[in-house]
Structure 1
Amino acid sequence: MIVVPIAWIAAVFAIDVLAPSNIHLGPLLVAAPAITASFGGPRTVGAVAALAVAAQTAIGVLRDRDELFSSNHQAQIYALVLVGASLVVFCVLRDRRARELSQVRYVSETAQRVVLPPLPRTLGPLRAAALYLAAEEEARIGGDLYAAVRTATGTRLIVGDVRGKGMTAVGDAALLLGAFRAAAHRQASLGDLVAFLDKSVSWDLMEPDGTDGVGETFITALVLDVPDRTGRVEMIACGHPPPVVVRDGRPTTMHAARPAPPLGLGELAHPHYRADSFRFEPGDLLLLHTDGVTEARAPSGAFYPLTERITGWTDRDPEAFLRRLRRDLLRHVGGRLDDDAAVIVMARPASSRT
């Protein structure tokens, strides 16, 4: 790449020296350090700028034989020095900013691995894949969450969305995930587990001065119990989008007959948690997601029609299905989401027993 600005300096120098006296191409030399700044560091830009100044000086010597350095050539030399110095300063600041962003990405990725470790590819007889798309370009994690815990008889999963954004939302997500991982392996019913999660979130929402902050922040969540030896899945939907079962390319949304309020609002609603159930057969795909998927908008303002778009998709591999969904979703929104989105895809192999 460095050949391009050097060749440009050589070409401008040769043409300007041979051109008629009323034609001055020296100002075009400024393009050389400008081009170099697009790929080079401060030292490279400084070297090319110095070469451009030397070329302009040589042009002045060769063309102004009677009067060394006319005012026109002096002005061009000063301009090159000023532009070159400015570009060097720009490259120094740009590289410093790049190092800072690299550190931010590292910290963000470390936080994601701690709060949202990757799902195992296998959960007992199930295969799984997960995707997290952050709305912020430099972020790797937000208020969306998911986790899976193995039990003696199956797998318990949670997918949720914290109301709000920023580090407060990340902290609330970490709290809920910690409570879920600590309690999900116990032999308590799904209703007891969700009641425990609701209390954990409610306790965290108490203000430091002792005032009750319940109702100001909450977490929508979908908690499922997927047994190993039967196709019947139990779920409790706490204000969260329902799961979707894809069978032979036909998606079916599994709406909860007894929806519960979001976690953190239990102190207000005093719900009695009861699980709904649906069939999850061998060969099916189970799709869990946050509202960042279904509320993703196209430039025209249209929401992403999840079940309509995945109709006819016969991929049975969770990772392949998820890659296709990611491409389709980003294509729908024009490449960038307005809200975080999390997706889990699980498959019960056709050979598994129910």
Structure 2
Amino acid sequence: MEVRATIFRAEPPTTTMTMGRNLAAILLVVLACLVSLASAEQIKTTNTRWSYRLPLPEGVSGAESLAFSGKDGVYTGVSDGRVLKWGGSAAGWSTFAYNANYRSVKIPLCSDSGVPSEQKESICGRPLGVRFNRKTGELFIADAYMGLMKVGPDGGEAQVLATEADGVPFHFLNGLDVDQATGDVYFTDSSANYPRRFNTEIIMNADATGRLLKYDARTKLVTVLKAELPYPNGVALSRDRTHVVVAHTVPCEAFRYWLKGPKAGRYELLADLPGYPDNVRRDGQGGFWVALNQEKARLNATAAAPAKHLVGVRLSADGVEVEELTAARGVTLSEVAENGNKLWLGSVELDYIGIFA
């Protein structure tokens, strides 16, 4: 009612034409409100509080990213530098891949639970993004310290593919995705200045030296697609392979880099996010799941605690939020992945993987 009164005072109703314009304006306002309400109602809320927990082996934590193979095969990098494989309830967990340092004299250090993980990461490695090339069976690994790596279908010691691009060494490899048509790998280096163990410095110092990178499967070369980025993290190739989506932990946004078409080479905002994002994965509908490590309010001392604890959002292909994931307080996610009609929930901080059916 207040909107109508304001509009009629602004345009004196002296003629039929004027009243017609007023009525049209009112209808536009009402229509806009209805569209806004409809959009809000379309955002589905899924509470993952009752997810099944798949515990990690004793002494390790941080299933930051997940890769899948076959019916039961689940692979994840953990805090001691290894990539583990879950072979189902009968087989349990086993070591699938490791780096050269882990398989040397450093094993006692890497497996010593008494040493803080951040102190041994630079020696033992920290595998973050993991994805399979389904054609070759090779698993690609973005290790925060060791570089871009891969291991064959049977596992074993991972091969280092690259440790720098354009003469600039990697400092903090993070997210990763594989183009299943070409075998090319898209990945992020979150900072040219700070390694993972000092990731809070990236935020505190507003560091914007991150890069979006591409490993060409044919030439074996790495190219820089976009530089001077603020904390680029997760990356996912779109279903139509026209662009890659990159999550920026700060400033809580998702961008897309166009690979093909009239916008090729353009880097544009896709979505503002309600929290600090980690990994991005495609969903089954052409959109994307974005895991949230923290809500914006958690780093704002003056903000009131939100009514619900968000740990992830699902975006449409156009960046519209269509679903949100909530969880119990204290739960943080680094990845939300769809597989086998389930949501698999990875966390860089917890000692288990969540499975929500």
Q: Do they fold alike, i.e. is TM over 0.5? A: no
Task: Bin the TM-score by the shorter chain.
Answer: 0.3 to 0.5
Q: Which has the larger radius of gyration?
A: 1
